[in-house]
Each structure stands twice: as structure tokens, then as C-alpha cells.
Amino acid sequence: MPYLNLDVDYFEHPKTRRLVGLLGSGAEIYPQKLWVYCAKFHCETGILINYKREDIEAICGWSGEPGMLYGALLEVGFLDLYEALPEARRKRYQKRAGSATRSRFCA
């Protein structure tokens, strides 16, 4: 069964606290939903190529003001805009992704 690694300090991490401060209680789930999506459909790199703001928000299940979640994820650092993914970042993603990068779950 595929799984993701979640840091035991995730809920107290400054990024998580800032996200909750910007969006309110329950916002801590949105990065996790995005990570699950990446593990399912982009398990090798975690890169979402050609995804629009509204795509990201739909993946996360956001029903608030359009653009607000996307902007908050960028602002606190849960989402980055890159033209290329450095190898170090790829390795960090693969470590976080757990078994999803080593599973048949990734087609």
C-alpha cells in the first residue's frame, strides 16, 4: 500500500501555522491533499506542469475565494514556482513521498 511520510512536527511547523493563520482552522489539510495528488499522478518528481491556479485549488478541495489558497500556499512556501527542479529538491520530494515513488501505484 502506498504511503506518504509526514513529519511529526508538521502541525506545529511555522509554514503550517502561517497557512492556518492566513486561511483559518482546517487549512493544514490542503498541503497534504496536494502531496497525495502528487504521489498518485506525479510520483517521480512532484512537479505539477501546466497546472493553473484553479487546478491546484480544485485538487485541494478549496471552496473559498478563488486564488486565495494558491496565494497562501506560495506565500508560506508549500508551493513553489520552478522552471526546472534541482536534483536536491527531487531527492527531498522522493524522501517525503515514501512508498509512492517506489510503488506500482505510480504508472
Is 48:79 a contact under the CB 8 Å cutoff?
no
pLDDT tens series, the chain, 107 aa: 777 888 999 999 999 999 999 999 999 999 999 999 988 998 877 788 888 999 999 999 999 999 999 999 999 999 887 655 444 455 556 666 665 554 434 43
Instruction: Report residue 25 as a C-alpha cell.
Output: 482552522
Give this prediction's pTM.
0.78
Instruction: Report residue 16 as a C-alpha cell.
Output: 503550517
Is 79:70 a contact under the CB 8 Å cutoff?
yes
- Supply the pLDDT for residue 30: 97
State how far the Cα of 90 lies from the Cα of 87, in Å rounded to an integer. Answer: 5
Of 32, 42, 38, nearest in space to 11 by CA: 32
